[in-house]
A and B are shown apart, each in its own frame.
Chain A
Amino acid sequence: MSEAPTPEPRSPEAAAAVVQDGEDASLLHPEQLISDLLRYGVAASLALVTLGTVVTFFRHPDYLVSSEALLRLTSPHPVPHTLGDVVAGALAARGQAFVMAGLLVMMAVPVMRVALSLLIFRQQKDRLYVGITATVLAMLVLSFLLGAAH
């Protein structure tokens, strides 16, 4: 959990990481960058899902007491399944639309991770791995396009 380098004395836990962090703050640590992307991506997703859940219970107080509502919720029914649905729902302050937005952020995190790896390998001028990562990213994009076309 070491964010921006702070001048304050560090906790004993973080002391071990000091050696690595202290090497050169301007030099990018690939592992740290990827780890941060994953952490912030996951945190953003969880924040949206939690917010959406709270809004849902606020708008449907019967969810706290009624057991009939559950039957409706777990059997087949239409769910938002296009980006337009999600945006429209969020604008109407529908809790489930926020939850869905959080889930979409979660799904996007691995793809962003591959894109970040590509940038890192390019900066390191590691041409072999730039090629490998670019191919993986291309196949991921292709699978999204094929999925959308289905």
Chain B
Amino acid sequence: MTPFLFMLVVLGFSVGAGLLGSLLGIGGGLILIPVLTLLLKVDIQYAVGASIVSVIATSSGAAAAYVRDRMANTRVAMFLELATTAGALSGAYMSGLVGGRGVYLVFGGVMAWSALVMLRRMRASAEAPVPADALADRLALHGSYWDESQGREVSYRVTRPLTGLGLMYVAGTVSGMLGIGSGALKVPAMDLAMRLPLKVSTATSNFMIGVTAAASAGVYFARGNIDPFIAGPVCVGVTLGAWLGSRHLMARVNSTWLRALFVGVLLWVALEMLRKGWAS
């Protein structure tokens, strides 16, 4: 394979990762790292650096459309970023103290569990009423968005902001420890605890993961993990994919279908993490 062909292959996979990431609110790192290391034989240190770039590119590429369309709730995002950045800071410290193995096992378990809870919510026929919350009112977190697939403006109320904050701290810690965007933890936290509609949860997660990843990107750059030859095509491909997904797909997809896709990817990520924890 020539370097030129290599770049085209990386570009192609990156478009796919950006497309999927923009719909599901995840960074796509968990898709790209195996492709780069196993299929293309890239050294793991550059694969991880490319993954961080992919998280930021997915986030910024998709959020431009999501913020303008008010699909992403910027107030919820800003409030929760308090916890994700604090978590990312402490996670970076804890990574020295706690072994990677335990982290993988615990979070593989947490993800598998949240996948099953999210699956159960898919069957729930009537939406239970969202309990009122004084803090959510004070923070003015409630919102609405236009759902093309339903052909109407959907308004929603947010609840349990403090539970969300706690869960985001955990998600931020995982990001700091494992160097991932951890959108796979953020989406269930917003969907299950705070009761945001799934599309709003994934779009808001998308908006947030860029900030979480940017917090650790400086370290990766300083360590020399970001190789322009590999991260360059990833950056371009992921941005194109995220742009396509956020502008042309998100509004049209059906929420039930999106939930099924998310649960599937979540289960796969959970198994991958459990496997890693088991093997290490």
Q: Which residues of A does B touch, CB under 8 Å?
A: 30-32, 34-36, 38-39, 41-42, 45-46, 49-50, 52-53, 56-57, 60, 63-67, 69-70, 73-76, 78-82, 96-97, 99-100, 102-104, 106-111, 113-114, 117, 128-129, 132-133, 135-136, 139-140, 142-144, 146-148, 150
Contacts and interface: CB of A to CB of B under 8 A. Distances in A.
B215 A41 contact: no
B158 to A, nearest CB: 15
6 contacts: A99-B231, A103-B226, A106-B56, A109-B214, A140-B214, A143-B215
Interface stretch (B119-127, B217-225, B250-258, B261-269): B217-225
Interface stretch (B86-94, B100-108, B183-191, B270-278): B86-94
Which range holds the interface residue count of chain B? 35 or more
B85 A140 contact: yes
B87 to A, nearest CB: 10
Contacts of A128: 138-139
A102 B40 contact: no
A63 B5 CA distance: 9
B42 A74 contact: yes
A95 to B, nearest CB: 8
B113 interface: no
Interface string B8-26: 0000000000000000000
SS class, residues of chain B in contact with chain A? helix
A52 B235 CA distance: 13
Contacts of A49: 232, 235-236
Contacts of B139: 128
B259 interface: no
Interface of B: 1-4, 6-7, 40-43, 45-46, 53, 56-57, 59-61, 63-65, 67-68, 70, 74-75, 78-79, 81-82, 85-86, 88-89, 92, 138-139, 210-211, 213-219, 221-224, 226-233, 235-236, 239
B239 A31 contact: no
A132 B2 CA distance: 49
Contacts of B63: 34-35, 38
A56 B227 CA distance: 14
B3 A100 contact: no
Nearest to A80: B228
A69 B3 contact: yes
B218 A110 contact: no
B79 A111 contact: no
A41 B39 CA distance: 31
Give the 6 A-B CB pairs with smallest separation, nearest first: A99-B228, A110-B210, A147-B219, A81-B224, A35-B68, A63-B3
A109 B56 contact: yes
A107 B221 contact: yes
A113 B210 contact: yes
A73 to B, nearest CB: 5
